[in-house]
């Protein structure tokens, strides 16, 4: 079993429900979620959408190889209604492979580790919550170090849950 880290995000519809459904679908497709960060409200970055995202990072285990895992994520995104009509537009669910063990994959279809993760607070904040000491296989820095050094200053805040009355 390989340990993988995935980023999940949504800025359309019931965002938390889409993330929950995506995690459930991962389990049904051979990706076992081991740990999950808190949900974070995140400012839109690198997107045409003005709606804020809900993001998290998960640690999971799988027997799928990197290309199989990528196809699985794309299949789940389609199952949950994602249509890639507008580049960088709003989305019900978006899932990215951040790390696959300490492997480096560089093909036309897939790059692991995710090539822009060190420049994205919406990835680094939840990642640092669950795995601050995990080391980037190319940059040789921990997630905590990458978070401290990122030039990204976009807003990332813990989601406020409504208290039961």
The domain spans of the chain are 2-158
Q: Is 84 a catalytic residue?
A: no
Q: Which of 21, 91, 120, 121 is catalytic?
A: 91
Cα–Cα distance between 61 and 82 in angstroms, integer? Answer: 24
Answer yes or no: CATH 3.30.70.560 is held by domain 2-158: yes
Q: Which of 21, 94, 120, 121 is catalytic?
A: 94
Q: What is the pLDDT along the chain (165 residues), one digit of tens a residue?
A: 999 999 999 998 999 999 999 999 999 999 999 999 999 999 988 776 778 999 999 999 999 999 999 999 999 999 998 666 655 667 889 999 999 999 999 999 999 999 999 999 999 999 999 999 999 999 999 999 999 999 999 999 999 865 443
The one catalytic residue among 15, 82, 120, 121? 82
Is 102 marked active-site? no
């Amino acid at each position: 079993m390989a340990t993988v880290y995935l980023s999940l995000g949504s800025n359309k519809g019931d965002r938390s429900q889409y993330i929950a459904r995506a995690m459930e679908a991962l389990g049904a497709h051979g990706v076992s979620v081991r740990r999950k960060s808190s949900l974070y409200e995140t400012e839109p970055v690198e997107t045409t959408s003005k709606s804020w995202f809900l993001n998290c990072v998960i640690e999971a285990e799988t027997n799928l190889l990197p290309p199989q895992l990528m196809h699985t994520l794309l299949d789940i995104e389609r199952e949950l209604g994602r249509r890639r009509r507008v580049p960088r537009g709003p989305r019900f669910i978006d899932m990215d492979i951040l790390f696959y063990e300490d492997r480096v994959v560089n093909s036309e279809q897939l790059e692991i580790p995710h090539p822009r993760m060190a420049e994205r607070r919406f990835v680094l904040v939840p990642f640092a919550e669950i795995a601050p000491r995990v080391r980037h296989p190319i940059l040789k820095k921990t997630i905590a170090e990458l978070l401290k050094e990122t030039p990204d200053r976009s807003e990332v805040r813990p989601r406020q849950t409504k208290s039961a009355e």
